[in-house]
Structure 1
Amino acid sequence: MPAGAAFTMEAGVLASLFEILAITGPIYILIALGFGAVRLRLLATAELRALGVFVISFALPALLFKALSPRPLGALIDPDALFAYTLASLLMAGLGIGLTVFVKRRGLQEGAMLAMGMAVSNSAFVGLPIAQPLFGAAASANLAIYLVVESMIMLPLLLTVAEIGGSGRGRLGQVLRNVIGNLVRNPMIVAIVAGVACAALAVRIPLPLARAVDMLATASAPVALFYIGGTLASLSVRGMAGSIGVIMAGKLGGHALVVFLLLLALPGLDPALKAALVLNACMPMASIYPIVAQKYGQQGIAAAALVATTVASFLTISAVVWVMKTHGLVGMHA
């Protein structure tokens, strides 16, 4: 290979790495701030729960409502792509629950949380910023697919499994009543239903309320990441390496691999859309993962897995983007 060509290739690799670092760098900074705040005793560990409650009960529901309410979802989503991404996510979640319940002999709640780490990507906070320079305007349209799968299928399903796991061995009717009651009161589920209803009925909410929702939604990512850092400050990862490794392998490798294999059965699908689906499956898990897991006593392993996966994803995403660029599946957009 000529020296000039080798230099150009190396420069291209470095450019891709710096592009991704510019996107994920702020994530690490916010996590480090939360970690430092607790380690320096500016914030007590017990006070972190309030931050988690704020995100899960107010900021995150606002984000979900904002993402779903203004768009006619049916007009934006390719049914084949939706089916493939949904099936891949369900298969990964089933694998996670199966490993936990039948191999590790643990409960359904732990299985549901492990499955969430393996099958639900950080599509909004990491996936979209990475996809926009690669796919242009199509990245925002593709986000609708991920939101439907993650917010309207995977999240309610895994929360239901977790609630069933915490209902003991009572009668089936009582278990179902507990599950339905908890889901109905869950702010995230309420926000999803309200967002879909507004989209279906073309309801425009008043401007003051819309701005308030937008302000809350904007707060969800930084507060969630700050909370994660604070949780890590008092976390001992001893004995967690096995579970962290399973979650990382499932999220960064398994999820994308299953999406890729399923897409092979859809030759008519736009290659750029296929690339976008695989790339989104490569993303680390949602930043709310430890906050959701908090309710089920799994916030420690969830926070550790999130940080480890987010750090490792810098390398895995860089590799996937490089392969896609090499094969002409993605390009840089303004």
Structure 2
Amino acid sequence: MLHTLAIMAPIILLMGLGYTAAHIRLINREQIQGIGQLVMYFALPALIIRALTDNPLGETLNPRYLLAYGLGSALLFIPVLLWMQRRRSESLSSAAMYALGASASNSAFTGYPIASMVLGPSAATFLAQNMIIENLLILPAALIVAELGQRQGGSGLDLLRTIGGRLIRNPLLLALGVGISMALLDVRLPAPLDQVIDMLADATAPTALFAVGGALYGLQVRGMVGSVSLIVLGKLILHPLAILIMFSLIMPGETDVLVGALLFASVPMISIFPLICQRYSMGSIGAGALFTASLASFATITCLIALMSRYSLPPG
């Protein structure tokens, strides 16, 4: 128990600092968004590039890991999509948002800081691989389905062009492309630039947690407990369970890898979830789900880490 508290305490304190800073008006919402932009456009890309170039690409990108994590996430995405549309009579666009919230982790802002406390430097390798699944599989799938639900004319090519345009401007995807290219071509950056990459990468975890804590201030859940609960249950319970099943089938016995995958799967949904939901008239539900999942995850992640400690799963 003390080991679990030692891991979670810095995470809770950093998020608490962000929340307190917003509560006492030391920083406002626009400044919090600015901190988030710093993480999204500079610190996280630097971390991904470093993760992909510090070791041979074959050691960083594990095809079986990508397959297991991708299938585990899809194993949840598809049933949630179908169930929400057919059983609960949600529109196709709304059902896609429920499925996205349940199956896409906030690997960047929450997953990496937590995993780095448990796993150390190897957490960056998991982050790089999860970014591929989330940004090239789950997010595009959700956007395609949601746009299909909103379509009022236009060709399939227009739909793909719209979604492709959004994805190609994603800084994390660009960082993945740069990092993989550098690793394949064995490109080495000049020492000053390499040092800048290291400094930005090292700032990722504390800055991201501070930004998440600040963003939580002021969010409320009113009149949508049922809808929010479904998304939170899917994300914090069913997603880790789906990942556990797929890794047990595809990578049995590789406990170090399983620990990393479970830690990332157990965190709340992607931070831009409310913004994406807003386009499909689900902004309040998206914000409520993110708020509730962020609070509930303290308990669920603490329990997960305690269980892994009990069974000696965490490495080191």
TM-score normalised according to structure 2 size: 0.79
Deviates more, 1:274-283 or 1:189-198: 189-198
CA 14–180 in structure 1, closer or farther in 2 if over 3 Å, else same: closer
Which of 273, 277, 298 is 2:261 aligned to? 277
Pair 1:65 & 2:56 matched: no
Max radius of gyration: which structure? 1
Amino acid at match of 1:263: F
- Superposition pairs for residues 1-334 of structure 1, below 5 Å? 13-34=1-22, 37=25, 48=30, 52=33, 55=36, 59-70=39-50, 71-72=52-53, 73-185=57-169, 189-203=173-187, 207=192, 211=196, 218=204, 222-223=210-211, 225-230=213-218, 232=219, 235=220, 237-266=221-250, 268-330=252-314, 333=316
Alignment gaps of 5+ in structure 1: 1-12
Q: Tell me the CA shift for residue 139 of structure 1.
A: 2.9
Deviates more, 1:115-124 or 1:290-299: 290-299
Q: Distance in 1 between matches of 2:172 and 2:276?
A: 10
Deviates more, 1:91-100 or 1:255-264: 91-100
Q: Tell me the CA shift for residue 268 of structure 1.
A: 4.5
Residue pair 1:167, 1:178 contacting (<8 A) in 2 also: no
Q: Distance in 1 between matches of 2:9 and 2:310?
A: 20
Aligned counterpart, 1:9: none
CA 77–83 in structure 1, closer or farther in 2 if over 3 Å, else same: same
Q: Tell me the CA shift for residue 22 of structure 1.
A: 2.3
Deviates more, 1:171-180 or 1:184-193: 184-193
Deviations 1:33-67 (A, max 9, x none): 43564xx9x85xxx75x9658846x7524345323
Aligned counterpart, 1:7: none
Deviations 1:284-313 (A, max 9, x none): 223333344445443322222122112111
Deviates more, 1:170-179 or 1:86-95: 170-179
Deviations 1:224-272 (A, max 9, x none): 5434435x1xx5x333111211111111110111111122223644222
Secondary structure of 2:236 counterpart: helix
Q: Distance in 2 between matches of 1:168 and 1:54?
A: 37
Q: Tell me the CA shift for residue 141 of structure 1.
A: 2.9
Amino acid at match of 1:27: M
Secondary structure of 1:325 counterpart: helix
Q: Distance in 2 between matches of 1:126 and 1:224?
A: 8
Identity score, percent? 30
Residue pair 2:236, 2:266 contacting (<8 A) in 1 also: yes
Residue pair 2:102, 2:235 contacting (<8 A) in 1 also: yes
Residue pair 1:224, 1:288 contacting (<8 A) in 2 also: no
Number of equivalenced pairs: 308
Q: Distance in 2 between matches of 1:295 and 1:241?
A: 21
Q: Distance in 1 between matches of 2:120 and 2:199?
A: 23
Residue pair 2:240, 2:262 contacting (<8 A) in 1 also: yes
Amino acid at match of 2:79: L
Secondary structure of 1:101 counterpart: helix
Q: Tell me the CA shift for residue 127 of structure 1.
A: 2.6
Secondary structure of 2:270 counterpart: coil
TM-score normalised according to structure 1 size: 0.75
Q: Distance in 2 between matches of 1:128 and 1:174?
A: 35
Q: Distance in 2 between matches of 1:184 and 1:264?
A: 34
Residue pair 2:19, 2:213 contacting (<8 A) in 1 also: yes
